[in-house]
Every structure is written in structure tokens, then in C-alpha cells.
Structure 1
Amino acid sequence: MIRRATGALAVLAVAGLLAACTPVQAQRLEDDAASAPGIARFYDQPDPLPAGGPGAVIRSAPTLGAPAGAVATRILFHSTDLNGRPVVNSGLLVAPDSPAPTGGRTIVSWGHPTTGVAEGCAPSRSFDPYDSVEGLTDFLNRGYAVVYTDYTGMGTAGPDSYLVGDTEGRNVLDAARAARAVLGRDGSDRIVLWGHSQGGQAVLFAARLARSYAPELDVRAAAVAAPATDLASLLRDDIGDVSGVTIGSYAF
């Protein structure tokens, strides 16, 4: 009975969202809702894991609901943590559906802001996984491909990595590697790193690690917005409100 009620509420929620959307937004939400039941199975890690170095793709699948003029692919790929131990990451790759330019597409590896720490809080598993990527439309219009990791421990099982910059930085770089593998000849080794808040911290670490950890990537630029850097001051200043308490609990 509870399951039926939950399902009915979900249908009503989708209906309410559709009523407030443009036709294009409504189609995307319908596509997202249609694909939701099978999404959870994608994030189950095969046992044993197939062999592969950092960035090697374990699994990929086309994803519905991509912005107009783009195609999206959900990815599961190898990465490493701050101690060099292998971990599995999930994420999403979004690219224009037009022919790639000569020399392949520049790849933007996006570091997402705080969305939670549980597996189900991963951006690639959200109801609209494209909505939170700042600048996505502009990047696609320029012919770039955009990839984003969910970070270790989100999306698929793994150790917690919230604000663990050395792990998240590797995840950001390995997402770019995975994107190159999926894109094939349409991709390039030209990489731009871009992140916000938690993702800003991840991108700063990725930029620092790039030369030693992923020397084959041609990292052209790194841009961050409101990066989480001075963590002691950040937590101290925000601990008096609900967002600060929430972020503090994640950090602990």
C-alpha cells in the first residue's frame, strides 16, 4: 500500500512539473521519468570488476532527456582515491549531436557543488541530471563535450570522499579520461576543468595533480566559482544555520 501511494505521489509530482514547463522542458522531464526505473541497475558494480586503469570505462549506456541538440551517456569508470587505491566512479557525458570539429571536441570536466553524500544524491542519478551544470548550454553551443563525475562514494558504492580533494581531483581527471574513451575519434586530449563550491575544490586539486596523475591530458584551463578552500573558516562561519550544520555533518 505504501509503495502504491509513493508511486501515485511521484506521478502527481511529475504532472505538476509538466504543467509548469515549456514543451521542451516537459519532454525532457517525461524522458527522465521514463528512464528512472532502470537507472538503479546501471550503478550496480560487476563482481569481479573488469580490469582497467584510471579512467577506463566499465559500463556505458545512452540516457534519455538530454538537452535539445545533444546526446547523453551514463558512465561507470575506474578511478583511484587519495592513497592510490582503485575505486569505481559514476557520471554523465553530454555532447552535441552534430559532427565533431576537426581535431575532436574539447572536453569540459565539471566538478559539481554539494548535493549530499549518499549514493542516491549523485547528480547523474537526479531527476534532471542536466539542470545543475552551470554553463552547460553555452559549452554545448561551442561544440564542447561536458562530463561530470559523481565523486567516489556517490552514484555507486565506495568510500566517502566529501571534501577529500586528492580523491575528488583524481575523479575529475578520470572522468575526462572516460569521456575520451566513449567519444573515440570525436574526442580530444584538450581538457578544461570547471567547478563550483565543493566542485571548485575538486577542480583545484585536479589542476594540481594533472601533470603527474594524467600527463596525457592537455589541461588548457581551470576555472572555479566559490571554491571550498579554507574549510575551518567556512564551517565556523556557517555552523549557525541549517546549511552549515548539514555541511558540517557531511564533513565529519
Structure 2
Amino acid sequence: MTAIFPDTAGFAGKIAFVTGAASGIGAATARRLGGLGARVVLADRDSEGLAAMAAEFEEEDVLALDIDVTSIAVVERAIAKGVGHFGGIDLAVNSAGFDLARCETGEYAADDWERIISVNLTGVFNALRHEIPAMIVRGGGSIVNVASVLGLRGFAGQPAYTAAKHGVIGLTKASALDHAAHRVRINAVAPGFIETPLLGHLNDEKKQAAALLHPMARLGEADEIANVILFLLSDAASFVTGACFDADGGYLAK
């Protein structure tokens, strides 16, 4: 019988690797996966946030790893630790990312460009590069990359973040084509502006302005994006790969 989401039993016993797991969308998704019976590798460079997240799980169901996703060697070791600890990886969510204050392209610092691209785009490649082989030996798996509405539209003052998220969507599609025959599904989600620490640099007035960019006239919540990610990870999305799902309060419909 075709699985219908939510199939709460479908995640029980699965092993998930989540980057950016200490806060925001990554934390919300990891928390939901754990609540549905998955064992979770929490990966982030925020050691305090990781410890707090890990404390929400039963000790035998979680592994917290302090990693820098910009280093492919560090990511490789982290995934190997996850495989060694739990026996494999079935699911992955690549959510690690950050942004900087707005700045026009003609004044954008080269160092800032490198930082944004290295985390938000290269970090996703580094994770995919080692998640995919780990899933192939298990007979398949499902991966969701966290992109953004800025991966589908231009946005003034955000050249690096916009470029990185466009890259994540392209990388998702290419990777999905490469590994469809291996039964590894790879999709992306494109959130609108979400109430997470990523918006922490905005004052209340700017947050309200961001909220009003959505026809629903509010910011999204991390759990709302986690819902979409869980669908894409689940067997209910068994014929979905290479897709990018908008979760944006109508932002892209305008």
C-alpha cells in the first residue's frame, strides 16, 4: 500500500544526519525526527547549542558532533563517525547556513563572499559527497537540502546568499539525476523568511518589513519548514526527487 504522510512509523529506527542542527530549521527537523523514533546525528559548529539539543534525546538515540561544514575532511570524518556509531545513514538534512547584513554587489567584501559561499553552498556539497555513498551501501536513502526563496529570485543587497542558494537548488537537481538509479532521493526546500536566529540581526521594524513580503503577512516558523522536510524525507514522497518545494507564505506566487 502506498504510504500516506504522516506515517509516524516510517521514521522509527531510521538514522538521520542533520547539519545546522543546533538551531533554527535544522534543530526543529532533528527534534521532529527524534520524536518519530529516528536516531539522529546532530552536526553543527555551535557546541553549546549542540549540547542543549542532544539533552532532548535519549542518550542511545543521539550523537552530537561539532563540525565545520566548509572542511570536506571534517565532514567526511563526521559522517564516518555517524555510520560507525549507528551502523549507517538513511536520511540527511543539510541545513547549515548563515547570512550577513545587506550590502550591494559593488561594495561586497571578497572575504564575506567566500564565507557565505563556503558554508551555504560548498558545505552542502561536502555533506552530499559523503552522505550519498553512505546511503548507496544501505540500498538508498533520502536527502533534503535547505535552500531559500532567494535561490529562485534575486534579492537586492544579498549577492552571496542569493548566489549560494541558487547553487544549492542546481546542485540538488544535478545530484538527484546522478543518483536516482541508486535509490537515493535528493530534494530541496525553499523557505521564505523564517523566525530563526538567521534573522537575529534584524530589528523589529525590519522583521515586520520581512513579514510583509509574504502574502500571508507573517514570518514562517521553523516547525512549518520541518513539516515539508519530513514529507520529502518520508516514503510518502517516494516518487519525488530533484524537486524544490516552496514553503514561503506565498512569496514566490507574486
Normalising by structure 1, report the TM-score. 0.31
Instruction: Compare the two structures and name the one with the higher helix fraction.
Output: 2
Higher RCO (Cα < 8 Å, 6 or more apart): 2
Of structures 1 and 2, the larger Rg is shown by 1
